[in-house]
């Protein structure tokens, strides 16, 4: 593709058997249970050839390959090929989550990303991907 390794899009495993593993997306990456897939998710809920990421001029395309248990992007089932965005969350069946980064470079934090004052309380992650809430001592919560 002509891009330096640090500039290639990256897929990072989260919340599943591949947690913490990383894959550079050069041209096409197939995700599935089959040993011939670039990303092998060893679970029976995952189809042999479950989903694919394709690098196109316009960006990176995610498509479900007719899986039984679905591919999800940002919590929505993928019914046809879609372009994914930097920081996007991909879920394979109910087994493996990934985060997509448009490159392996460190992204600077934008203004207002971190809270100015500590919030306190406890953080709970909901079973729905990308949902979290904080319970403060007063019992009030906020979805993040």
State the average pLDDT for the chain. Answer: 81
pLDDT value for 134: 53
Whether residue 101 contacts residue 92, with contact meaning beta carbons closer than 8 Å, is answered with no
Tens digit of each residue's pLDDT (9 = 90 or more) over 24-46: 999 899 999 999 999 999 999 99
Banded model confidence at residue 103, pLDDT cuts 50, 70, 90? confident
Report how far residue 34's alpha carbon sits from residue 49's, in angstroms, rounded to the nearest whole number: 6
Contact 71, 50 (CB under 8 A): yes
CA distance 43 to 61: 24
User: pLDDT digit string (tens) for 60-96?
Assistant: 999 999 999 999 999 999 999 999 999 999 999 999 9
Give the per-residue pLDDT at 114. Answer: 46
Residues 115-140 have a mean pLDDT of 54
């Amino acid at each position: 593709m002509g891009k330096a390794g640090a500039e290639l899009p990256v897929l990072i495993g989260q919340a599943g058997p591949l947690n913490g593993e990383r894959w550079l997306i050069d041209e096409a990456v197939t995700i599935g249970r089959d040993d011939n897939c670039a990303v092998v998710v060893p679970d029976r809920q995952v189809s042999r050839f479950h989903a694919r990421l394709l690098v196109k001029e316009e960006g990176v395309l995610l498509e479900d390959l007719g899986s039984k248990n679905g591919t999800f992007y940002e919590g929505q089932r993928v019914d046809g090929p879609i372009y994914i965005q930097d920081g996007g969350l991909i879920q394979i069946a109910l087994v493996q989550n990934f985060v997509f980064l448009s490159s392996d470079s460190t992204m600077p934090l934008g203004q207002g990303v971190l809270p100015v004052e500590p919030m306190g309380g406890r953080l709970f992650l909901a079973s729905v991907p990308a949902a979290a809430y904080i319970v403060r001592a007063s019992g009030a919560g906020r979805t993040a």
